[in-house]
Amino acid sequence: MVRDGMMIIVGYVLRSYLNRHSTLREILMKFKAVIWKEDDVWCGSVPELPGCHTWGNSYEHLLKMLEDAIKGWLEVANLNE
């Protein structure tokens, strides 16, 4: 989906966690990312996760960086619970 030069994509992140019985569980979480290009750099932001922004040298690099940024954001949020 493209809006005014910005693209909105939906991605999925696999999150592993221990439940209250110390059993490893995995869930698939869905996030929307806003993607745009500034000069020669691809930029991305995940509106649902405040402060979750990143960039990449190419579109493919940006997608990898977004995945890493989301995982990092979720790990920090989990530590703060």
Supply φ then ψ for residue 31, to 5 degrees.
Answer: -130, 150
Both structure tokens of 38: 């500034």
Which two structure tokens, joined as six digits, stand for 63? 């997608």
- Dihedral angle sign, alpha carbons of residues 62, 50, 5, 8: positive
Domains of the chain: 2-79 (3.30.160)
pLDDT in tens, the chain (81 residues): 444 456 666 666 656 655 566 666 666 778 889 999 999 999 999 999 999 999 999 999 999 999 899 888 888 887 776
Q: What is the pLDDT of residue 2?
A: 45
